[in-house]
A = this chain, B = another copy of it.
Amino acid sequence: MVLNNVKQVLKSIEERDFKHIYFVACGGSLALMTPSKYLVDLYAKKLTADAFNSNEFIYLNPAALGKDSAVILCSQEGKTPETVAAAKFAKEKGATVITLSMVDYSELGNEGEFAVKYGYYETADAIDTSYGAMYLLTAGIIEAQENCPLFNKMVTNLTKITPIINKAKEDFVDKALDFAESCKNSKVLYTLASGSDFSQAYVFSNCYMMEMQWINAIAIHAGEFFHGPFEILEKDSSVVLLMGKDNTRFLEERALKFCSKYVEKIFVIDMNEVDFKDIDEDFVGVMAPLVINNVCRLYSKTIAKVRNHSLDIRRYMHIVEY
């Protein structure tokens, strides 16, 4: 589904020249775009990229935004007001505007030049999810702009990752329960990660814990950790450490080494425990955030059950005016 949709978009824009990609969204939808920003950093020799919160993007009004920009925006239901406004704004600036959402027709889709519809994360194959759609689009744009063969490799690996994700969701059940039981009364969690995995520390802290569980959670970059935040840690602090497989894994390993010495409650979600069998060796790091995301969601569901606090309870979002 997503693959054909993305291929059509890529075909339509293959003659255009882009200098910069803006990834624009809010909250969880912004977090799911940052691995694609990482992909640009990792593979693109000319193209550069920024990831912006939708309102920040509009009000900042980047001077470089224009005809040679690709702006990719995402909103699950396609109606996040700031993201809809950002799409309109980007189009007025002459940028190529591509929108992603889970629905057929949306306000967001109406504002863009191209719309990609992705599937529901609980049921769709990885290639059909928001992460899959983002990676396909970004890989395709990099390939077209840089003559760097990335798209087919992305398709192949995304096609093979779903069973690996599903197995990880089974294999981490006990660890998820241990986390949930140990942290159900924690006053604050520290979530560490680096590189493309940092997106998952962000979504775990800001969405799964603070929004959906009303548990304080601080996403700390594993490299920045040693330049301030680590001073807060005590023996009984609760640390969730995400360990992926990208180039920056060393930073996460260094954080683990430190935390193992000074903290008792460390919950490591380590991609070294996952068998990435059919995935191309040099692409395991790119695929890992999709697995981490699903394992983090398992952790959040498990703690929600243990605390008897549904992930769907809100007190402000879509309830009060803001």
| CB-CB nearest in chain B for A38 | B60
- Determine whether the beta carbon of B188 is less than 8 Å from that of A216: yes
CA separation between A167 and B224, bound complex, in Å? 32
Contact string, A275-305, partner B, CB cutoff 8 A, digits 1/0? 0000000000000000000000000000000
Task: Report B-chain residues with C-beta under 8 Å of the C-beta of A82.
Answer: 223
Instruction: Report the Cα distance A215→B218, complex, angstroms.
Output: 12
A20 CB to closest chain B CB, in angstroms? Answer: 6
Q: Contact string, A199-217, partner B, CB cutoff 8 A, digits 1/0?
A: 0000000110011101111
Residue of B nearest to A246 (CB): B60
In the assembled complex, A264 has its CB within 8 A of some CB on chain B: no
Interface check A16, CB cutoff 8 A = no
Taking residues whose C-beta sits less than 8 angstroms from the other chain, chain A's interface range is: 35 or more
Taking the closest CB of chain B, its distance from the CB of A112, in whole angstroms, is 20
Which of A7-15, A22-30, A157-165 participates in binding chain B? A22-30
Binds B, one of A47-55, A174-182, A266-274: A47-55
In angstroms, Cα B261 to Cα A315, docked, is 13
Residue in B closest to A218 when the chains form the complex, CB atoms:
B218
Contact B322 A254, beta carbon cutoff 8 Å = yes
Other-chain contact of A223, B41, B53, B221 (Cβ < 8 Å)? B53
Interface positions, chain A 50-65, Cβ under 8 Å from B, are: 50, 53-56, 59-64
In order of increasing CB-CB distance, the 4 nearest A-B pairs are A27-B227, A211-B228, A53-B223, A26-B227
Question: Knowing that A45-B63, A54-B223 are A-B contacts, what are 20 other residue pairs whose CB atoms are under 8 Å apart, sorted by A's residue number?
Answer: A19-B48, A38-B60, A41-B60, A41-B62, A42-B63, A46-B64, A47-B64, A48-B50, A56-B194, A56-B223, A60-B248, A82-B223, A188-B188, A206-B229, A211-B228, A217-B218, A230-B316, A231-B314, A231-B316, A258-B316
**Interface residues, chain A, with chain B CB atoms under 8 Å away:** 19-20, 26-30, 38, 41-48, 50, 53-56, 59-64, 66, 80, 82, 187-188, 194-195, 206-207, 210-212, 214-218, 220-221, 223-224, 226-233, 246-251, 254, 257-258, 261-262, 314-317, 320, 322
Q: List 22 A-B contacts (CB under 8 A).
A: A19-B48, A28-B228, A41-B60, A53-B194, A56-B194, A56-B221, A56-B248, A59-B251, A60-B195, A80-B227, A187-B187, A187-B188, A187-B216, A188-B188, A188-B216, A206-B227, A206-B229, A211-B228, A216-B232, A226-B322, A230-B317, A254-B322
